Structure 1
Amino acid sequence: MPRSILADTSTMATSIFRQALPSTVREIRLHFSPTQANQVKSLIHSNYSSIKSSNPDLPILFRESFVGTPARAIVRFEYGVEKQVSLEQAKSSSEIESLLSDLIQGKN
């Protein structure tokens, strides 16, 4: 039975965390409010060890902000260039992972 196209794109989006990230990525920061802590904690539990094993020198920071502070992901690239994406609409850890993947690959 053939796999659906949707399943393939989902796998492609999440596969970036199972391998070494581009060398231009210098840091990943996740800022989240206590109301969104469950999605981010789920992402940490399911992917942190694989990300760190593939990228041992990459700083990955998780910051809990004040209530009302918008959740966002920030990726710092070489030469101090930072790109960010809002995580406010993300309903699951897989959506957060997909948003991060798009940000790292330059799709945002």
Structure 2
Amino acid sequence: MAWRTNLSRSVKEIRFLFCQSSPASAPAREFVNKNYGHIKALNPSLPVLIRECSGVKPQLWARYDMGVERCVLLDGLTEAQIGGKLEELAKVGESLKSK
């Protein structure tokens, strides 16, 4: 969980996209409900955007330096797996900084 503390150093913005009512988006909604406060407390300057759109598949976007963005589809993932995907995106940001 140490990566959460350094999230704002490797990522410039995080966006969650999901449907307000679809069962496929339920784990993404739950992840945001349970983890948003903790992530923001550790990274108060990091923009964490929540975008809801009817019928959209759940997605997680990360924006890095120089406008580089990465997207991960969250369809079919559990809350724990979504946390793992966020960690992977944070590691991508660390690797981009070292180049």
TM-score exceeds 0.5: yes
Uncovered stretches (5+) of structure 2, i.e. residues with no partner = 93-99
Match of 1:99, SS?
A: helix
Matches of 1:93 and 1:16, distance apart in 2 = 17
Amino acid at match of 1:47: N
Q: Which structure is richer in relative contact order (CA contacts within 8 A, separation 6 or more)?
A: 2
User: Paired residue for 1:23?
Assistant: 9
1:21-100 paired onto structure 2 within 5 Å: 21-33=7-19, 34-35=21-22, 36-67=24-55, 69-90=56-77, 92-100=78-86
Uncovered stretches (5+) of structure 1, i.e. residues with no partner = 1-13
Task: Write out the 4+ residue segments of structure 1 that deviate beyond 6 Å after TM superposition.
Answer: none
TM-score (norm 2): 0.78
Aligned length: 91
Percent identity over the alignment is 29
TM-score (norm 1): 0.72
Matches of 1:78 and 1:57, distance apart in 2 = 15
1:101 aligns with 2:87: yes
Q: For the pair shown, which has the larger CA radius of gyration, 1 or 2?
A: 1
